């Protein structure tokens, strides 16, 4: 036999109650919106960036470099049809833009930068710009 539990509406905090009422609704097996996740490694001569951009064609990826700021953008398109016995039960479409921008510690040599995309991973090799020599000015 099941035990009876007394409900106390004031046991939870107001924030918990609001969070429970307004939690996002998801269909079972629904894909989450895409996000660009980035790993950055640094050595003496360059930065190595690995960005996860799953489900996007390489033609839809755009990488821009401005001094030490790297911006990655992509257009994502997903279409999903669920069929049963030859009839469409559910049809969903998702179109959206992905964008990620971050700053590096040193300017990037744009002429030597390289990008490669395979299996949903964008790999960037960004050589560091040679540091300009500091010139000391004599005060007169």
pLDDT tens track for 24-81: 655 444 455 557 899 999 999 999 999 998 888 889 999 999 999 999 999 888 788 8
Q: Measuring CA to CA, which residue among 41, 22, 24 is closest to residue 33?
A: 24
pLDDT at 92: 80
Compute how many other C-beta atoms are within 10 angstroms of the C-beta atom of residue 123.
14
- Is residue 111 domain-resident? yes
- Is residue 135 domain-resident? no
**How many whole angstroms separate alpha carbon 132 and alpha carbon 108?**
13
pLDDT higher at 10 or 86: 86
**How many whole angstroms separate alpha carbon 3 and alpha carbon 95?**
48
Q: Assign residue 114 the CATH number of its domain.
A: 2.60.40.790
- Is residue 45 domain-resident? yes
- Is residue 115 domain-resident? yes
- Is residue 23 domain-resident? no
Reported pTM? 0.63
pLDDT at 138: 82
**How many whole angstroms separate alpha carbon 34 and alpha carbon 21?**
25
- Is residue 60 domain-resident? yes
pLDDT of 103 > 60? The answer is yes
Range of the domain at 89: 35-127
- Is residue 26 domain-resident? no
Q: Using an 8 Å Cβ cutoff, are 131 and 91 in contact?
A: no
Question: Among 16-20, 21-25, 105-109, 117-121, which stretch is predicted with the lowest mean pLDDT?
Answer: 21-25
pLDDT of 85 > 80? The answer is yes
Per the structure, the count of domains in the chain is 1
């Amino acid at each position: 036999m099941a035990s009876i539990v007394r409900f106390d509406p004031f046991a939870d905090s107001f924030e918990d109650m609001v969070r429970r009422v307004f939690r996002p609704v998801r269909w079972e097996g629904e894909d989450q919106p895409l996000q660009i996740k980035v790993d950055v490694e640094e050595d003496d001569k360059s930065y190595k960036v690995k960005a996860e951009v799953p489900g996007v064609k390489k033609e839809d990826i755009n990488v821009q470099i401005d001094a030490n700021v790297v911006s990655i953008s992509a257009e994502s398109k997903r279409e999903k049809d669920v069929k049963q016995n030859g009839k469409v039960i559910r049809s969903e479409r998702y179109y959206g833009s992905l964008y990620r921008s971050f700053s590096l510690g040193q300017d990037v040599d744009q002429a030597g930068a390289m990008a490669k995309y395979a299996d949903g991973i964008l790999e960037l090799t960004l050589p560091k710009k040679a540091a300009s020599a500091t010139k000391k000015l004599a005060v007169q």
